[in-house]
Amino acid sequence: MGTPIAYFRGRWMPLEEATVSIATHALNYGTGCFEGIRAYYNKASDRLFLFRVREHYERFHASCRILRIEVPHSVDELCQLTVELLRRNPMRQDVYVRPLAFKADPVIKVSLDGIADQFGLFAVPLGDYLPTQGIHVMVSPWRRIDDNAVPARAKITGSYINTAIAVSDAHAAGFDDCIFLNEDGHVSEGSAANLFMVRKGALVTPPVTDNLLEGITREVIFELARDQQIPVVERHIDRTELYVAEEVFLVGTGVQVVPVVSIDHRPVGEGQMGPITQSLQALYFATVRGENLRYQHWLTPVE
């Protein structure tokens, strides 16, 4: 790979030149929105395929709407810019794309209005974010941010303090990651991933009103489960249900599909990846790599 190229201030430039002042509003107050999009390398056709890029940009627009950030491009334009980004950064490996829109003026003013916005886009190579064979997690003593304080539904830069603080404490305690409860004590999601458990053969996941990011992978799992005739239920999950679940797994663009093999030092099921997780994980990887013909419309080739 040559010099990484970013899109910033409406033009293409070397990534190292796409910088901001320390007085930037978003740097001081966390007032930005972002996305994380994966493109998978397909060896057979020697091409990258973006996965559900349109859905990511629809959510990006929704996040920016909540934070009153004006995005200078439509969803279609953002999809095209992302294809162009990957053409300008040729990579023969899996890639993570990061669009970012933020309050850019150098002002000391804690507000969202009257502040100019900026948009940037860059890409980095990215393999597995967490081990896909299984992770050990704890239930975090930190609570998930509440919709009436900092909405988890929007992918806001500043919100990731909640994740960073909880994950660092989980690492310090010897775990790979953590699970958040929300303020009413129900399971919300993983630190940067949505959560599913298997109980009595059905998939159960918290509803979008439980202070979670409305994940795109979560919806992919709904569809893949339907294909496998696995029932999916959206309902509150109690903490101790995690201890008696047959299987628990996390899903997200970054983590992909990761089995949780222990929670708070208690084995989940048999303490290894369960059969439903295994089958959905295999289906997921086949889908994102373009090997599942049924869902090729979710992929955008980078010609």
Ligand X SMILES: Cc1ncc(COP(=O)(O)O)c(C=O)c1O
Active site residue 155: yes
SS3 298: helix
Catalytic one of 43, 109, 155, 200 = 155
Q: Is 276 in the site for ligand X (CB under 6 A)?
A: no
**How far apart are the C-alpha atoms of 202 and 231, rounded to whole Å?**
5
Q: Is 99 in the site for ligand X (CB under 6 A)?
A: no
Q: How far is CA 268 from the centre of its chain?
A: 24
- Closest-CA residue to 120 (of 85, 154, 152): 85
Q: Is 256 in the site for ligand X (CB under 6 A)?
A: no
CB of 99 to ligand X, least distance (A): 13
Q: Which residue, 115 or 260, is less far from ligand X as judged by CB?
A: 260
Q: Is 32 in the site for ligand X (CB under 6 A)?
A: no
Tokens encoding 66: 């909540």
| CB of 257 closer than 8 Å to CB of 280 | yes
Residue among 154, 213, 224, 237 that touches ligand X (CB under 6 A): 213
Count residues binding ligand X (CB under 6 A).
14
**How far apart are the C-alpha atoms of 212 and 176, rounded to whole Å?**
20
Q: Residues 37-76: x/- map of binding to ligand X (CB under 6 A)?
A: ----------------------------------------
Tokens encoding 59: 């959510």
Q: Is 217 in the site for ligand X (CB under 6 A)?
A: yes
Q: Is 189 in the site for ligand X (CB under 6 A)?
A: yes
- Closest-CA residue to 188 (of 205, 174, 173): 205
CB of 120 to ligand X, least distance (A): 19
Q: Which residue, 105 or 219, is less far from ligand X as judged by CB?
A: 219
Q: Is 115 in the site for ligand X (CB under 6 A)?
A: no
Number of other residues whose CB lies within 10 A of the CB of residue 24? 19
Supply φ then ψ for residue 268, to 5 degrees.
Answer: -90, 125
Footprint of ligand X (CB under 6 A)? 36, 189, 192-194, 212-213, 215-218, 252-254
